[in-house]
Structures are given as C-alpha cells and as structure tokens.
Structure 1
C-alpha cells in the first residue's frame, strides 16, 4: 500500500489562531470604507482507489483558503462597491491524484476569484468585472451547515483521482464522471432585479479571461428565492446557461437546487438536479441533515447525502456516490472543524471493471 507523507501539525495549529472579533474595517474621511476578510481551510485528505491509498495535507476545494477586501464608496441613495478576492494557490483536494504531486504553493492567475464593481439601488444591481455569473451557486444551495465536509459538487473532495480498471488506471477521473453543472465566475456584466416577494432574477454575459485558449461567449439566466420565518428557512434557485463557441460545439445546461430547514428542530433537507444537455450527463442529489446545539462551543451539524448520475463520459454510464458529513462550530475562535467521508462508484457499457474510490477529509476552517 502506498502512502504519501502525512503532516498533521498545521491542522493542530489551527486551534491556536487568534479570534479576531472586530471587523477589519478602515474608514476614510470621505466616508469610504475598506473591509478586509479571509479564511484558511486546511484539511487532511485520504483517498483509497481500491489498490492503493494516498494521504495529503492540502487546501479544501469545498471552500478554498482566500483573502479579499471590499471598498464601499458613498453614492447618494445608491451603493457603489468594489471587491477583490483571490485564492492563495495552495495545493487542494481537487488537485491531488495518483500520478503526480503538484507543488504545495503555485499561485496562478486563475486563482483570482473576484475583481469587480457593483452599483445597486432601488433599480436592482449591476455587476461588472471578474465575478459570479447569474447561475453561480444555483446548483449548490445548501442550508445543512455541512457543506465544508461535502456537498453536491463532488469533485471538490477528490476530483483528480482516476478510477482503476482492475489494477490499471483508466484515465477516467472523478471530475469526468461527477459534475453538478453549476455556474462559474467569468469577466462579465450582470444584472439582478430588485427582490420581489423573495424572488430575484439575474442575467449575465461573460468571457473567460483568466484561462488561455477560451474564446467562447457565456450567457446565463437565474431565478432565486429566499424565505425565512420563525419556523422555516428556505432557499431555492433554478438556472439556464449556454456557451457559444466558434471553435467548438455550443453547450447548454439546466440546474436547480433547494434547501429547507425546520428551525425549531434543526432538521433540514437539500435537493439538487442538473442536465448538461447534448449528452453531457444528468444527475439528482439529496442530502438530509440536522443542526443544533450539543455543546456550548457552537452549533453541531450532521448529514448524509446521495448522488445519482448518468451518461457522464459515455452514454449509458452510471455515476453514484454517498457520503456522511459532520461539522462542529467554535464561535469564540471563528473556527469550524469538520469530518467527511465519501464513496464514488462508476460503471459504463465498455466491460471495464472500475473499482470504487473512497475519500476522507478531516480539517478546519478559520475565518476573519
């Protein structure tokens, strides 16, 4: 059995970081403010592909380590804001694999998450620059409190690993066979309508400027809904996106998700579905969970989930996965500790004998 070196010291050090209760906000005499924020989300990852196991200490792609700031500028009755945010370029759970060992720190321009301005008021909001398209997060609405340990975007846990056909690597990765078709971040212009009875409509046009050799045009539409009372908290969304590419085939995708929590009991349910159109795969996803106060440190959240997909990689293929998640919050430290376990299963009509892959995450996220 192969094992990569295991480094546990940094994960223990997360428990010693300071708890910065005050906001890192600075005010200019003109009234403009700058607010800095960030997070570290380091995790122990263990993956077993049926023949060998691999251990790593890496960044958690479910919510990568990052730094950013907001600048708010007075604009009369409206609001003008600027946001810059970048990932730190750490090797992550979606980068690791059986073949090579990426550098632990390798910041690239694709790690730049946001560089945008937003002007908002009674008319809604207009966004310009690198940031979320209209369908970003619409497949991933999740009020379970456990998304750090696992959620519908399954490749974030171990997407670079290949399934073995018998004892031979097949070249088919987890990220090829489990996709949620969620929207992305692009250099775009986006408009959000004002909220009406909990509903908001968004539309965006964008281009990929951070990755090379992508001259496509991206368009999408999204509808969001949010509701909260003394009894229920509910969020839902549905989106449609398409890509127009002169050098490749145009693609379309439809996504939807909803998450409902019963506040008195903490019981919650999350559902998601997506269709890649044009034979690019489709799936359904369900997560059932509970969140409540077990200790005086902060909330405890537990959940189980199941993913059922088809027609990824090849027509007639089946992609199935189940997982369990647990997250414990430590309010005084701005810290969330988590444990997640997942199994991936893939099968197609080629006669290959793909072995199941299991993945474990144990880590903590500290935010300021």
Structure 2
C-alpha cells in the first residue's frame, strides 16, 4: 500500500520536474528570441497581442461601464383583491450603460452613451392580472444610444436616442427619497370602475418619454442651464434648470414646456389613438437646509390634449414631498419622508374611453437607508390612492367613487 502511494508520488514528482525543465527551456528560448527581436519586430508583436485582448476602450477613447439593479417586493390591496409581486422598480429601473469620451481640445470633447434597460416584471407594466409585465421578448429596451459634442464654452449637443429637454423635470428632489415610486407601481392595477390607477395618474403627464432627438444644453451660468430638443416627427420642448447653494440652503428647480403634435404610436398616452396632439407646462423645485437635512420637494403642471374630434381636454396635478435626510449611522444617510398629491381629470384626456372627469388623491410615507460602502440603498414605503371618476356631461353626468388602493413596497437598489 505504502509502495503504491510512493510510486504515484514519484511519478507526479517526475512529471513536475519535467514540466519545470521544459518551462525553463521555453523561457530561455523565448528570452533569446526576444533579445534577437529588433524594435520594429517587438512593436509589431505587442500590437498583435493587443489586437487579441479585450481592453477598456482604445488609446484615444475612454470607456466607462456602470449601471444599477433595483428590485422590490410589492404587497397590494385594491379593495377587491390583494397579492404580492416581485418587480423591477420603474421609478429608477435596472439598467447598464457604456459611456465613452475622447478629447479633441482643451475645450472640446466628443463621446457616446449606450444605456440598456432590463424590463423584467417592470413595476409600470405589472398588473392585477399579469405579474410578469412585458413578455420575455420585450425584457431589454434601449434607453439611450447617442453621440455628443461637449464644450466648456458653448455647451453640449446630443444626437440620437435619448432624453428630451424636459425629461425628469418633475422629479427634482434634493432629499433623494424614493416615495414618488408609487405612481409607477400602481400603473397596471385595475380600479373598481375599470381602467387602471396608472391611467388616472398617468406618469407621462409629468414626465417626458425618451426618443430620437437632437438636443442642446447650454453651459451652467450662475446656476442656470437652458435645454431644448426636437425630434420624433413632431415633438419639441424647452426647459430651464437651476441649482445653487445660498448659505445653509441648497436650492434646485426646473420648469419646461413640451409639445407633441403626433402622439400616435408613442408611449406618452396609454391610448395614443385617441389623441391628436397635446402640450404641457410643468416643473418642480426642492429646497434643503443642509445642517439639519430637512427638505421639501414639490412638482406641478397642466396639460391640454386635443382628441381626434378636435375637442380639447385640460388636466392638472400637484405633488409635495417633505422629509429629512441625515447621517444617523456611519453606514450612510437615512432619508425619511411623506408624500401628498392630487391628479385632476387625467383620465379624461383621451386615456380612458368614456370618462369625462377624474380625481385622485394620494398620500404615503417612506424610509431609505444608504450603505455607502456598497453603493446600496434599502427602502420601505407605504402608498395609498383614493378617488372618483365621472362619465357623461350635464344632467347625464355620473360620478363613481373608487375602491381605495394600498401598497407596501420594500426593495433595494445597488449601483455598480
């Protein structure tokens, strides 16, 4: 038995020794060949090796890879049914991006941005009857695919798939809270009178969809940035943003105008065929007292939609989100906030057939804990929606109260 082990061990030792000898001979031979190589031959060999190696960009264009994963558990009750779903949080969805930049001069650089969204069980698409949202073939979506020139003196011009000037203009929030995610979470859940809560609080009303645009942004001047974009056949918008700190107070705000002359086939209305054109004015503002971390953020807007018959429908909304964000623990900042909002007649702007009016009130609260060492945010939220819808006009008008909708959302967002 001992001899057997010894024999096997000896065999392994002989093989290892042979390997070392061959390695030494190979190293010596390679070293000799390398010594014989001229400078041109050596450079050609290095170029050959580089051509077969995956590396970060090239020598002229840098490459940055980043993204995030944001998954959540939603437990909901619509007054008739209740359930729990695992979703991707569309308020700040899962995505990965590649960004490259190259320097042209000390004042000018060029670059590109490619960003892909992962829409698996997206919270804005999950519904009472469908806990998967988009089908497997629609899981990946191009969010950004554009090129740009950027100058410190003259600003930035972007061409391709991306954000219009007013994108995220109603979501300015220095507190960094995630409580406004409620509008996205309820999108597909059916009301007791038909239609969905998302139809009555249409998130595209206070935000603007990405598309193929040419966009210009000015350099920051005294805290102001002016942006304008045109594209998507007959869409254009303009926005003004501001951010500055005055003593102990930090201020951020934005206001913009958006016009869509051909909404057919876009995501800006849930039933685009009912709309001929629409425009909207909206914005948001946020103020934080830096020493205490107290903040208040709010947004508001109005929209006019012209339907296929030429009839105009007006709608409006307002939303407020006060809270506090402070570093109570070494791990990272803790944000606690509450929310209140109201949405008027959004269901009657060609989104839900047969409605002539709608009113939705919302309130809720949430907490977000950051863990800076892991670039992680863990959050828990409560959302409540209630309201009514109206059908008919004049003496034929009929108002129906909706069953209330409640949800508890817990999740985590990890950036990389």
TM range (shorter): 0.7 to 0.9
Structure 2 residue 361 is the aligned partner of structure 1 residue 332? no
Q: Matched residue of 2:129: which SS?
A: coil
Shift of 1:27: 5.4
Q: What are the Cα deviations for residues 296-352 of structure 1, in whole angstroms up to 9, with x where unaligned?
A: 111000000100121121344211100101100011111100001100112123332
Calculate the aligned-residue CA RMSD, in Å. 1.9
Distance in 2 of aligned mates of 1:306 and 1:361: 17
1:101 positional shift: 3.3
C-alpha contact 1:91 1:106 (8 A) present in aligned 2? no
Q: Which residue of 2 aligns with 1:236?
A: 253
Q: How far is 1:163 from its partner?
A: 0.9
1:218-239: CA deviation from partner (whole Å, max 9, x where unpaired): 1101011111255122110001
Could you tell me whether the CA contact under 8 Å between 1:89 and 1:107 is conserved in 2?
no
Q: What CA distance in whole angstroms lies between the structure 2 residues aligned with 1:67 and 1:107?
A: 18
Query: Can you list the C-alpha shifts for 1:121-170, whole angstroms capped at 9, x where unaligned?
Result: 111110100111000011111112212xx22x643122100111xxxxx3
Return the match for 2:183 from 155, 165, 168: 155
1:363 alignment counterpart: 411
Distance between the aligned counterparts of 1:154 and 1:47, measured in 2?
11
Instruction: Tell me how far apart the structure 2 counterparts of residues 107 and 100 of structure 1 sit (CA, whole Å).
Output: 16
2:122 aligns with one of 48, 70, 92: 92
Which of 63, 70, 74 is 2:92 aligned to? 63
Matched, 1:293 2:327: yes
* Structural mapping, 1:305-324, within 5 Å: 305-314=339-348, 315-324=356-365
In the superposition, the TM-score normalised over structure 2's length comes to 0.75
| Structure whose residues are more often helix by fraction | 2
Contact 1:192–1:201 (CA under 8 A) maintained in structure 2: yes
* Mapped contact 1:135–1:184 kept (Cα < 8 A): no
Q: Report the secondary structure of 1:195's partner residue.
A: coil
Greater RCO (CA < 8 Å, at least 6 residues apart): 1
Q: How far apart, CA to CA, are the structure 2 residues paired with 1:183 and 1:249?
A: 17
String of CA shifts for 1:37-87, please: whole Å, max 9, x gaps. Answer: 011111111111012111111111111111111011121120111000011
Change (3 A) 1:160 1:303: same
Partners in 1 of 2:187 and 2:316 — Cα distance? Answer: 17
Q: Does the C-alpha gap of structure 1 residues 295 and 140 become closer, same or farther in structure 2, counting only changes over 3 Å?
A: same
Q: TM-score, normalised by structure 1?
A: 0.84
1:80 paired with 2:80, answer no
Aligned to 2:148: 118
